[in-house]
A = this chain, B = another copy of it.
Amino acid sequence: MIAADIIIILNIGTSFLRFRLFRLLPVCSNPSIGTLLLLKLADRNLPKLDESLLTGLPPFSRLERPQIREILDQASSRRYDEGTAVFREGHDADRFFLLLDGYLRVIRTTPDGDQIIVLHISPGQLFGIAPALQRDTYPATAMTAAESIALSWPARLWSDFTASYDGFATESYKTLGQRLGQIQQTLTEMATQAVEKRVAAALLRMVNQSGRKTDTGIEIAFPVTRQNISDMTGTTLHTVSRLLSSWEKQGIVESTRKRIAVTDPHQLVLISNGNG
């Protein structure tokens, strides 16, 4: 599979690569050696980015190709290794971003060092849109959960974009609204549900947002540690480990180091609803 990808890429060249990356975006991204090669290219901005990169995405869906061309010409693209920060809480919010490939965690840190994961960002989503909310600093840190590539624009372009491009503002605020709803959802869970339900719900959320099928079940498409899950649910890695062990014995999940697959999602839904 991987070998085939490489050969195709080398033979057909960059135009196919662009198509391939584009094709991957709307569905769940499946980073392979193929896309990673493209990432290297995009990293240097060598090939002009293709319009098809953005055509399917909500903020740009109503735009014509020339407009998308304008937008892309003003974008910088960059690759980030796993575990690096795209921007940090409190820093000047001078750019806004679009995740092309990979996965991000949005993280807040407390004064005494505890951190919690507020939400995850999947390919195709805008992030770091503090400028849209008239903030001059980012309210949270964006950290890559896997190797990622993102476009970015200077913050001052936000007002140009919303003014010039029909539907850009509309669609952007729509995703913002969804994100707000999601955080509220997490908040109520955190406040009312027992740890077991919260962990089950967190797993389900990741699986729904970025699950990919394997032969035995659905696996989360980016590396996750027990510690990560405890940061999402406000508990400790020990408790998460115990829960996962017990679920593995019951045949609900399978997991190895940094990899978790859900084999019986239905059962997990039952647990998250309290009928465990």
Query: Known interface pairs A118-B184, A139-B184, A180-B180. Does A134 touch B173 (Cβ–Cβ under 8 Å)?
Result: yes
A130-B177, A173-B134, A174-B134 known; A190-B187 Cβ under 8 A:
yes
Residue in chain B with minimal CB distance to A192: B114
Residue A270 lies at the interface, judged by CB distance under 8 Å to chain B:
no
- Would you call A1 an interface residue if the criterion is a C-beta within 8 Å of the partner chain's C-beta atoms? no
Q: Check: A45 CB closer than 8 A to any chain B CB.
A: no
Q: From A273, which residue of chain B is reached at the shortest CB distance? A: B111
Say how many copies of this protein the assembly contains. Answer: 2
CA distance A106 to B113 in the complex (A): 30
B116–A177 CB distance below 8 A: no
Chain B residue numbers with a CB within 8 Å of A274 are 112
In the assembled complex, A12 has its CB within 8 A of some CB on chain B? no
In angstroms, Cα B191 to Cα A170, docked, is 32
**6 shortest A-B CB distances, which residue pairs?**
A133-B177, A191-B234, A134-B174, A114-B192, A116-B191, A190-B190
Q: Can you list 15 contacts pairing A with B, beta carbon distance less than 8 Å?
A: A108-B184, A108-B187, A111-B273, A114-B188, A116-B187, A116-B188, A116-B192, A118-B187, A133-B177, A134-B177, A139-B177, A139-B180, A139-B181, A176-B176, A191-B234
